[in-house]
Amino acid sequence: MRSRRPPRLRHDFRKPRPLSPASAQPQQSGRGVTAPKWSESTTEKVLLIAILLLAAGLRFYALDGTSLWSDEGNTWALMPRSFGEIAAAAAADIHPPGYYWLLKIWTSLLGTDASALRSLSAIAGLCLVYVVYRIGRFGGVGPLGSGVKARLPNVGGFALLAALLAAVNPFQLYYSQEARMYMLLTLESALLFWALLAIMDAQRSGRGYRLAGVGFVLSAVAGLWTHYSFPALLLAAALTYLVFWFQRRPIDGPRSNVDLLRFGALNLVALFVYLPWFPTAVDRVLNWPKGGQRLPLLDLVATVFSTLLFGPLRQLPDPLWLWLAAAVLLPLLGLIALRRRFIWMTLLLWLLTPLVLMAGLGLFSDAFLKFLLVASPAWCLLAAAAPWMLPGRVLWGQGLIVATALLLALTTLPAYYADPTARDNYAGVAAYVAAVGDPAADLVLLNAPGQQEVWRYYDPGLPILALPRERSARSPGDDGRTGRRAARPWTRLCALLATDEADPETLVEGWLDQHAFKGLESWQGNLRFVVYGMNNDLACSPLESPIEFGGQIALTETCRASQSIAAGDLFLTTLRWQALADLEQRYKVSLQLLDARNQVIAQRDSEPAGGSAPTDGWQTGDEIDDNHGVVIPPGTPPGDYRWVVVLYDAQSGERLRTPVGDFAELGSLKVLPMQRALPLDLLPIQKRLMRPLGAVTLVGYDAYKQGMGHAPETPIAPGDVAHFTFYWQAPDPLPADWPTDLTFQIQVGDQQLTAPLAGGAFPTGAWRPGELVRGEFDLRFDGDPRRPLLRMGIQEYRLDALPGP
């Protein structure tokens, strides 16, 4: 006789009805529980596709918009090598070869330009969004001991919200556009915990989990071959499983030792596949590079959650504390909401593991904060669970988080995409060197390991001097040969100085300050680009009568290279000082180029000899040669200018008096028009705009208290004079009706100024097509809190608020 198929258990979510004690008992089937099937609705699928399309757009947009940096240059340099050579190089590095092997296969199909190199991470970031959604589907599974897979209401909304948070998360987006292994590692960690949840869910319901077991092993193997921190995540997964195994109740199916042994076998298989690399891994971990730091608790919390929310983005929304409060509170509320759910222990340990690892090893520095990326999916899932703390208003809470996530994206991502210094801007530096450099007379100086590879990617064709890893105190080289080569009669040294960890004793910069003339200095991400001039042909002139400063220091002689110079070039001068007394105070030298209106056009402030000869060590009779290189700002109108020098207290800013006031005249200088156009990315402009305004483009502007160009954040109080520098660019080609002299108006409170764009010194009729021209202007600040207003014809633009007290 044929047995009848048991009736299918159905749930009616529209109107919950009380169950009788008999009907409340779950239907047993073998070892587990027969649970209702729960599938996504069509609307949910459409929303998921929309989220994935958004994630893809954000990750592939401007994929090569920022420069490769040194670590990515190392990735690029490995791609032409064989698999064996990549493994040998990785054995001497701090990463296993797995990512490089996979990327080599990838680039063999797509090429090795920046977009192709980064596209693998972009794909991994997109897949991560989908995996976060799939993990979110476990959010409604009931707790152990419930006996059924009862689901929380709107579990689909929870999974979609978690996916949306991952899609727009700046931290994940940043590393989805970087040719390094960290986004792949994060995807592998998410796949590991997805497989873990599937295994645990299958065991409690008595289903097979062969596919989940294979997924667990593959993700574990891939993670181990990708990064040396992955064993910590395996340990977190094992701890999660043990808690699950010990907490199982008979209603969840009998707790079987076979299940425990099977899970242990999965881990052993993964470790067995990793065994050939295990000795190398131990050696590399024991020799892990130092450089991290430990933070006080409050600073640590702020650093962790700021990173989880914004990643390494440089331009953050204001007020920052509101965003940090949300970044902390949302996952905490999510943990409370999920505390009796199947998923909560997995997410908690997933989130805490990298935090504990970094705190234990003291790795909280900029170089190691990327290790928090593997915790980012857990943060997104916990934050998405926070609305469940609002019974009856879950949809309202989810809508609020959606709005907050989109607001976060709108306030941070446009600035990230437009910022050429979001990563170390080697591309911009190479473009600058290509524009101004002379292969026969100029030298590029690299001071950190790994810079050579990325510089070869952008190579502008100038000679390179790469400093060795080990350096002695007598020169930036290990045996003096580097110093001798750098001291050859070069005209210009272009130094690419990496972060302090590359040269903690500043041996390179100290040598350059003593032997060269520091000029242009520009931060390009964490890369400091400095142009030094070399003393090849300076004409020295002793002063007829030494100029005394405060009766303590005398200027006895000046040396200079020429009487004229083109805008954008480096002016070299040496000031020879003599100590008239034993000095205990530290003074700074300010060298300033003034126009006919006494506006400061160019300025360099430094302690003598680039800081290597501070005045508090001077003894009576000491003579000090003080080298200065001053960049004549690009866009400076051609004409005659005069040099002055000032000595002032480094602490108080008080100037030392001279016989004619508080400065000394050093003569005149003729500035010629720019000879070559320079990349605008490298120009030190406070606020970059590239905004059309009337017939010209407003490239950007500087705004600070008069005389405080070296400290632009100095507060401007009512009654102070605010100084503005505007950078204009002419159209190319010039229109037929190009005016002879354009004017503009700036309004600060009730104060107004109408003037020619370059202050009258260089009328627009003399501008060349595409030429960059700057204008300097002063206006008294009356304390009005309104932002300054710029007008040109009928067009207006409001500047940022002036720095207030």
Write the pLDDT tens digit of every residue in 124-153: 999 999 999 999 998 766 555 554 445 555
Angle at 383 between CA 294 and CA 124, to 5 degrees: 80
Angle at 141 between CA 139 and CA 147, to 5 degrees: 165
The pLDDT of residue 12 is above 60: no
What pTM did the predictor assign? 0.84
Structure tokens, 211: 């596919």
pLDDT tens-digit profile of 606-635?
899 888 889 999 999 999 999 888 989 999
pLDDT tens-digit profile of 431-455?
989 988 889 889 999 987 789 999 9
3-state secondary structure 334-379: HHHHCCCCCCHHHHHHHHHHHHHHHHHHCCCCCCCHHHHHHHHHHH
pLDDT at 483: 54
pLDDT at 500: 58
pLDDT at 4: 46
The secondary structure element, H or E, covering residue 399 is helix 394-418
Distance CA 223, CA 325 (A): 32
The pLDDT of residue 536 is above 70: no
Which of 554, 564, 555, 558 has the alpha carbon at shortest distance from 539?
558
Distance CA 554, CA 548 (A): 4
The pLDDT of residue 25 is above 80: no
The pLDDT of residue 512 is above 90: no
Q: For the ranges 31-45, 93-107, 305-319, 360-374, which has the lowest average pLDDT? A: 31-45
- Indicate left, alpha or beta for 318 from its phi (over 0: left) and psi (-120 to 50: alpha): beta
Mean pLDDT value across residues 763-790: 93
Q: Which amino acid makes up residue 598?
A: N
Report phi then psi at 742, rounded to 5: -75, 150
The pLDDT of residue 182 is above 70: yes
The secondary structure element, H or E, covering residue 681 is none
Which of 47, 109, 84 has the alpha carbon at shortest distance from 276?
84
Q: How confident is the model at residue 514 (pLDDT cuts 50, 70, 90)?
A: confident
pLDDT at 253: 60
Q: Do 699 and 667 touch, CB atoms closer than 8 A?
A: no
3-state secondary structure 723-779: EEEEEEECCCCCCCCCCCCCEEEEEECCEEEEEECCCCCCCHHHCCCCCEEEEEEEE
Which residues, in sequence order, are CB contacts of 654 under 8 Å at separation 6+?
648
The better pLDDT of the pair 13, 483 is held by 483
> What is the DSSP annotation of 476-534?
SSSSSHHHHHHTSS-SEEEEEE--GGGSTT-HHHHHHHHHSEEEEEEEETTEEEEEEE-
Structure tokens, 603: 């300025």
The pLDDT of residue 794 is above 70: yes
Which of 603, 606, 795 has the alpha carbon at shortest distance from 704?
603
Distance CA 2, CA 793 (A): 91
Which of 690, 686, 691, 688 has the alpha carbon at shortest distance from 705?
686
Which residues, in sequence order, are CB contacts of 506 under 8 Å at separation 6+?
500
Q: How confident is the model at residue 755 (pLDDT cuts 50, 70, 90)?
A: very high
Chain centroid to CA 240: 34
Counting every residue written for the chain, the total comes to 805
Q: Where are the domains of the chain?
A: 42-391, 426-533, 539-672, 685-798
Q: Which amino acid makes up residue 724?
A: F
Fold of the CATH domain 539-672? Coagulation Factor XIII; Chain A, domain 1 (2.70.50)
The secondary structure element, H or E, covering residue 331 is helix 320-337
pLDDT tens-digit profile of 52-63?
999 999 999 999
Chain centroid to CA 355: 20
pLDDT at 249: 64
Q: What percent of the chain shows pLDDT beyond 70?
A: 88
Q: For the ranges 34-48, 592-606, 730-744, which has the lowest average pLDDT? A: 34-48
Q: What is the DSSP letter of 661?
A: B
pLDDT at 13: 35
pLDDT tens-digit profile of 324-369?
999 999 999 999 998 878 789 999 999 999 999 988 887 888 888 9
> What is the DSSP annotation of 235-264?
HHHHHHHHHHHHH--GGG----HHHHHHHH
Report phi then psi at 30, rounded to 5: 70, -130
pLDDT at 23: 36
pLDDT at 474: 45
pLDDT tens-digit profile of 541-550?
899 899 999 9
The better pLDDT of the pair 291, 779 is held by 779
Q: What is the DSSP letter of 104?
A: H
The better pLDDT of the pair 2, 630 is held by 630
Which of 382, 377, 388, 308 has the alpha carbon at shortest distance from 344?
382
Q: For the ranges 73-82, 218-227, 651-660, which has the lowest average pLDDT? A: 651-660
pLDDT at 38: 43
pLDDT tens-digit profile of 458-484?
999 999 988 765 444 444 444 445 555
The better pLDDT of the pair 223, 300 is held by 223
Structure tokens, 386: 């926070």
Task: Classify residue 243 as exposed, middle or buried by CB count within 10 Å of its CB (0-12, 13-18, 19+).
Answer: middle
Q: Do 755 and 777 touch, CB atoms closer than 8 A?
A: yes
Longest Cα pair distance anywhere in the chain, in angstroms? 125
pLDDT at 72: 96
The better pLDDT of the pair 410, 499 is held by 410
The pLDDT of residue 372 is above 90: yes
SS3 (DSSP) at 539 = strand
b/e 245-281 (16+ beta carbons within 10 angstroms → b): beebeebbbebeeebeeebeebbebbeebbeebeebb
Mean of all residue pLDDT scores within the chain: 87
* Relative orientation angle of helices 394-418 and 320-337, to the nearest 10 degrees: 140
Determine how many CB atoms are found less than 10 A away from the CB of residue 36: 12
Q: Do 189 and 179 touch, CB atoms closer than 8 A?
A: no
b/e 384-416 (16+ beta carbons within 10 angstroms → b): bbbbbeeeeebeebbeebbeebeebbeebbeeb
- Indicate left, alpha or beta for 690 from its phi (over 0: left) and psi (-120 to 50: alpha): left
Fold of the CATH domain 685-798? Immunoglobulin-like (2.60.40)
SS3 (DSSP) at 601 = strand
Q: Do 334 and 382 touch, CB atoms closer than 8 A?
A: yes
- What radius of gyration do the chain's Cα atoms show? 32
Q: How confident is the model at residue 11 (pLDDT cuts 50, 70, 90)?
A: very low
pLDDT at 291: 59
Which of 472, 470, 466, 440 has the alpha carbon at shortest distance from 452?
466
pLDDT tens-digit profile of 220-247?
999 999 999 999 999 999 999 999 888 8
pLDDT at 8: 44
Distance CA 29, CA 21 (A): 19
The secondary structure element, H or E, covering residue 597 is none
Q: How confident is the model at residue 78 (pLDDT cuts 50, 70, 90)?
A: very high
Mean pLDDT value across residues 278-295: 81
Angle at 525 between CA 493 and CA 725, to 5 degrees: 80
Distance CA 727, CA 722 (A): 17
Q: How confident is the model at residue 166 (pLDDT cuts 50, 70, 90)?
A: very high
Determine how many CB atoms are found less than 10 A away from the CB of residue 130: 18
Q: Which amino acid makes up residue 64?
A: D
Q: How confident is the model at residue 684 (pLDDT cuts 50, 70, 90)?
A: confident
Q: What percent of the chain shows pLDDT beyond 90?
A: 59
* Relative orientation angle of helices 376-385 and 155-168, to the nearest 10 degrees: 140
